[in-house]
Amino acid sequence: MSPTVSEPARWELRWPEVAVLDGNAAALGIEEASLMDSAGKSLAATALEMTDGAVLVLCGPGNNGGDGFVAARYLREWGVEVSVLASHASARTDVCVWPERPSGEWALVVDCLLGAGASGPGYSLRGQIKDIAAWAAGLGLPVLACDIPTGLGGPDALQADATITFHSMKQGLGSPDSGDITVVPLPWPAEVEDCGPGDATRYPTLDASARKGDRGRLWVIGGGPYHGAPLLAGMAAARSGCDLVHVAMPSVAAGRAEWPTTLIPEELPDEDKLTGSSLEHIAIAFEARPPQALVIGPGLGRDEATMQAVSALFEQASQKGIPAVIDADAINALPEGAWPTGLQGVATPHVKEAERWLAGASPAEALADCTGESVTIVVTGPEDTLTGPEGRFCRATGGHSRMAVGGTGDLLAGTIGGLLAQGMSAWPAARLGCALLREAGARAAQSTGPGLLAEDVPVEIARVLAEWTEV
């Protein structure tokens, strides 16, 4: 029988998303102690509803264990007999520290051994956690899990009769291991869900042994009427940590450009505008040096032949499984009111472009046939709105009014493209890209003043990323 859910969640949070929210909460100055107190009190109240007998609380080494200590304290204040078995001692409550075992006769076990940040579904428990979970299971008592059951979906899972999870549903909680699920809100503002520093927790870990190219290869395909836009996108991508950034433009536009030494020029056979004549050249180049992501659109123009070529590029990217950022003029090649079948990536229309493309549909409706984190629509403006499949939605706020200059949209496309090339999926890449650009733009505006140019921002992207990832 499927577990019941007392409160529907907007979408099932994946494990790394939990760390994002925690990071954003910390950046907003929300004290961990206040969150832990709220979670522990909710846990204790549910335990009271499940039994009027003695309670055994199992506390692990992380935040879930802290929730358990708080729950034990509240239960004792409410007159309940409580035993605590923990990985470590606590100054605030009496505990039995494993490998010791408490003695007593209990009516309920509260599982606070491991939370959502410890592992993914199906994780095989190890060491003392595995021993404690097995011992608790052998008691044959009802189990109340905190956030997620320990070992959820794995061979050693401590099956729960009920689970209290916080803020949103978590990945895997539909498992029978979870029992009946209650989603409990946390006392934090809605801004915790917005794009912010916490999104940097999903930035790919730097490998000390990495070599050139290991951090991704990106192609920016644009230019024709304009040559500056694809260069700005390329510089932003490079500052996001992407190793190899190719910028492909028709030959006349490429000849006008002042190429930064960090970008790799790709002169297309077309002269004035992108057409189908360049597609074979691009396909051959992709075979020789496969890109991990594309940015399509900056400075392209809207010529009919160009739009046909862009549509063909969408198909090519879909077939090869290459995620793409669809930006600027390329938005006009998207199928009306829908996302291209099979294509992964991010579209970055401004409000008017979104209205023309979606033709009355909402971003969520356009993504109705998509799943997971593979696609995202970012509608840009003074406040960006991000929409992904299955109910995903958030905002990007902040920045600076001086960012309302030509080229900031190109910077956003390039930043997201660089993150995609490094292996991030569309949803986390879009979130982090929006957060990075707004913070970088604000810092550039403060140091530059009214004369801020889009080209002043890319170096700040690198500095913000270094700070947020503690590089």
Tens digit of each residue's pLDDT (9 = 90 or more) over 118-137 = 555 545 667 888 899 999 99
pLDDT (mean) for 31-37: 91
- Phi and psi at residue 271, to the nearest 5°: -95, -60
Mean pLDDT of the chain, nearest integer: 92
Which residue, among 225, 241, 20, 246, has the nearest Cα to 117 in the 3D structure?
20
3-state secondary structure of 377: strand
Q: What is the pLDDT of residue 190?
A: 86
Residue that wins the pLDDT comparison between 143 and 13: 143
- Element containing residue 435 per DSSP (H, E): helix 426-448
Q: How confident is the model at residue 6 (pLDDT cuts 50, 70, 90)?
A: very low
Check pLDDT > 60 for residue 7. no
Q: For residue 182, give every residue at least 6 positions away whose Cβ sits within 8 Å of its Cβ, in sequence order, or none.
A: 5, 6, 7, 46, 162, 163, 164, 165
Q: How confident is the model at residue 154 (pLDDT cuts 50, 70, 90)?
A: confident
pLDDT (mean) for 162-186: 91
3-state secondary structure of 82: strand
- Element containing residue 250 per DSSP (H, E): strand 244-250
Q: For residue 87, give every residue at least 6 positions away whose Cβ sits within 8 Å of its Cβ, in sequence order, or none.
A: 59, 60, 61, 65, 97, 98, 128
Name 377's bridge partners: 347, 387
Q: What is the pLDDT of residue 8?
A: 44
Tens digit of each residue's pLDDT (9 = 90 or more) over 195-212 = 999 999 999 987 777 788
Check pLDDT > 50 for residue 1. no
Q: What is the pLDDT of residue 9?
A: 46
Tens digit of each residue's pLDDT (9 = 90 or more) over 283-339 = 999 999 999 999 999 999 999 999 999 999 999 999 999 999 999 999 999 999 999
Tens digit of each residue's pLDDT (9 = 90 or more) over 267-286 = 999 999 999 999 999 999 99
Phi-psi region of 116 (alpha: psi -120 to 50; beta: other; left: phi over 0): alpha
- Enumerate the domain spans of the chain: 15-190, 197-469
Q: Radius of gyration of the chain from Cα atoms? A: 26
Tens digit of each residue's pLDDT (9 = 90 or more) over 38-84 = 999 999 999 999 999 999 999 998 889 999 999 999 999 999 999 99
CA distance 19 to 202: 8
Instruction: Report the sign of the C-alpha dihedral through residues 424, 426, 427, 432, in that order.
Output: positive
Q: What is the CATH number of domain 15-190?
A: 3.40.50.10260
Q: What is the pLDDT of residue 129?
A: 87
Same fold, 15-190 and 197-469: no
Q: What is the pLDDT of residue 3?
A: 56
Tens digit of each residue's pLDDT (9 = 90 or more) over 240-267 = 999 999 999 999 999 999 999 999 999 9
- Element containing residue 244 per DSSP (H, E): strand 244-250
Q: What is the pLDDT of residue 359?
A: 95
* Paired tokens of 411: 């910077």
Weakest mean pLDDT among 114-128, 222-236, 287-301, 400-414: 114-128
Q: How confident is the model at residue 112 (pLDDT cuts 50, 70, 90)?
A: very high
Check pLDDT > 50 for residue 162. yes
Q: What is the pLDDT of residue 93?
A: 65
What percentage of the chain exceeds 70 in pLDDT?
Answer: 95
Check pLDDT > 60 for residue 393. yes
Q: What is the pLDDT of residue 275?
A: 97
Tens digit of each residue's pLDDT (9 = 90 or more) over 428-447 = 999 999 999 999 999 999 99
- Out of 3.40.50.2300, 3.10.20.340, 3.40.1190.20, 3.40.50.720, the CATH code matching 197-469 is 3.40.1190.20
pLDDT (mean) for 337-362: 97
